[in-house]
Amino acid sequence: MKNNYMREFNMYAIKKEIKKQSYGISDKFLTYLFQRKKVYILLIGEIRLEINPELNKLIEIRKIEHFELVKTLEIPNNTFVWILDKNTVVHSKEFFNSFLKVNTKYDFMYFDEEFKFKEEIYPFFKPCWSPIYFSYNNIGNALWINSKILKTLKYESLDLLKRNISKISNNVIYISETISQSEVDSIEVDNKYQSNDIVKNQNELVSIIILTKDKADYLSRLIDSIEKNTLYKNFEIIIVDHDSKEDSTLKLLKSYSNNPKFKILRYKGEFNFSKMNNTAVEETKGLYLVFLNNDIEIIENNWIERMLFYSKKENIGVVGSKLIYPDNKLQHGGISVGIYSTSGHFQRGIIKNDPGYMNTCKYPREVLAVTGACMMIEKTKFIMLDRFDENFKVIFNDVDLCLKSFENKLTNLAIENLIFIHYEGVTRGINNFTKDKDKDVIKLFWKKWGKYVRNDPYFNKHFSRFKEELEISF
C-alpha cells in the first residue's frame, strides 16, 4: 500500500481505539442465537484463530489439511461456512451483529474486515457485490459460504474460489460489518491477475462522437491520436461543431469532410451537451457509440477492443476508463455519487500508477457512473435509456445516463487499466457549480437521484463525502 494512504489508516486505528467499548452477551441471548443458526469455521493448515469464549455455542471449528477436502465434510445443508487460511481474530460484537443478518437464501455473504500488516491496521471497506472487481481483487477473508455450495466446488484453492464466485453464483449479499482482522504478508494483489480482455474481431461498426468549438490544435491532436493509435479500424467519426469561428478550425473541419470516415454536423445556439450528442446519434450507423471530449488524447492502441469487450455484454450499460492529466495525476477513475452532495471523482489527484485504495484504480471495477468525456455504450441500450436528458445541458448529463442504466439493471464499469490523457475543460472551462442556473440543475439532479446521492452502493459509507481524496469518516 502506498505511503499516501498511511495517514488515513493510522487515523482509522486511532479512532477505532477511541470508539472501542466493552461488550457482553447474556446466556439468554446466546441460547436464542444458538436455536436459530450456526456457523462452521474451517481452518486450513496450522493457523491461529482467536475466538471469544462467548462464541463457542454458535461456532463449530474443524481443521482440515487441504482446501480440496472441504467438499468431503458432512455439514448440514443451509448453514454458513467460514473458511480461513490466515491468522484471524474475530470481533465479537460485529460478529454477532452479522450473525443476526444471516439469511440462508443466499449462497455467499461477505463483510468488511481489517488486515494487519507490520503492526499497521488496514481496513478493507468493500463495495456492494462487484463480480468484475472481485475477480481481480481478492474479496478477502470475511466470506461466508452456504454449505449447499461446498459439494459443487471445482477449485483447488481458496484463492481461486474467491476470484471465481460469480462463476458459481451471483446470489451474493454484502453486509457492512467489520467482523474480523487477519494478519497478512502483503496487502498488494499479485499482478498475475491483471487482464486486458479484448474482442477478437472487428465486425461491429463503432461510431465516435466528438463535440468541438474552435481550439483546432486540441481537435487535431485527438483525431491524430485516434488514427495513429487505434488498431480497430471499423469506426466512423461524427464531429459536432458548435459554431466555430477560428479560421484554423474551419480549415481543419473542411479537411476532415473529405474523408469518408468522417461526418461534420453544424450546431448553432446555446451549448447543450445532451442535445448535441443526441442529435449526433441520429446520424450514426454504428452499433456502438463512443462519446469523446475534444480534449482527450488516445495513448493505448487497443482501446476500442477493450471497451467493446464489456459493452457487448448483455448486463453492461456504460463503460468508461481511467483518465489522467498531462502531469500523470488521476482525473477520473469512475464517478462516486454523493461526493460534494452531488457527484465527484473518487481519489482524483493520485499518481498514474498508484493502485488506489485496495486496488480500486488498478483493475476494471463496477461503478455507479463514469464521465461523459470518454464513454462507450451499445446504441440500442442508449436509445432504450431515452438518450441524454436535455434538461442537463452542461453538468450531470453523463451521471444521469449512468443512473438510468443502473435503474434498468445494467452495470456500469470503469476500466481502470485503460488510460487516456484528458486536458480537462479546455473548450468550455471547468464548471464549479457557482452560477444560479447550476444550482437549479443541482435541485433537478437531487429530485431525480437523491436516493443515490445518499447511498452510492459502490462507495462505502465510511468514505468522506466532502472531498474526492480518500478520507475515512465515522
Q: What CATH number should be reported for the domain holding residue 323?
A: 3.90.550.10
Residue 333: inside a domain: yes
pLDDT tens digits, 132-180? 999 887 788 889 899 888 878 888 888 888 888 999 999 999 988 888 8
Task: Please indicate, yes or no, if residue 199 is contained in any of the structural domains.
Answer: no
Confidence class of residue 8 from pLDDT cuts 50, 70 and 90? low
Higher pLDDT residue, 452 or 178?
Answer: 452
Give residue 7's domain range.
3-193
Q: Residue 430's pLDDT band (boundaries 50, 70, 90)?
A: very low
Predicted confidence (pLDDT) at residue 30 exceeds the cutoff of 70: no
Q: Are residues 337 and 439 in the same domain?
A: yes
Q: What is the mean pLDDT of residues 416-425?
A: 90
Residue 159 lies in a domain: yes
Those residues whose C-beta lies under 8 Å from the C-beta of residue 205, and which sit 6 or more positions away, are 234, 235, 236, 285, 286, 287, 288
- The verdict on 188 and 213 lying in the same domain is no
Does the residue 200 lie in any domain?
no
DSSP for 153-215, written as a single string: ---SSHHHHHHTHHHH---EEEEEEEEEEEE-S-SSPPGGG------S---S-EEEEEEE-S-
* pTM across the whole model: 0.91
pLDDT, residue 344, reads: 96
- Asked if residue 249 belongs to a domain, the reply is yes
**Residue 201 within any structural domain of the chain:** no
186 and 258 part of one domain: no
State the amino acid at position 233 in one-letter form: K
Q: What are the start-end ranges of the E strands in 325-447?
A: 330-332, 335-337, 343-345, 365-367, 374-378, 411-422
Do 40 and 105 fall into the same domain?
yes
Query: Is 459 a domain residue?
Result: no
pLDDT, position 433? 47
Q: What percent of the chain has pLDDT over 90?
A: 59
**Domains identified in the chain, total number:** 2
**Region of poorest pLDDT, from 81-85, 129-133, 137-141, 233-237:** 137-141
Q: Could you read off the pLDDT of 272-319 as tens digits, one per residue? A: 999 999 999 999 999 999 999 999 999 999 999 999 999 999 999 999
Domain endpoint, select from 158, 193, 228: 193
Angle between helices 247-257 and 216-228 (to 10 degrees): 30
pLDDT at 54: 67
pLDDT surpasses 50 at 381: yes
Residues 279 and 415 in one domain: yes
Shared-domain flag, residues 350 and 242: yes
What is d(CA 82, CA 95) in angstroms, rounded to the nearest whole number? 12
**pLDDT band per the 50, 70, 90 thresholds, residue 25:** very low
Quick one: 211 and 175 in the same domain? no
Please check whether residues 184 and 309 belong to one and the same domain: no
473 part of a folded domain: no
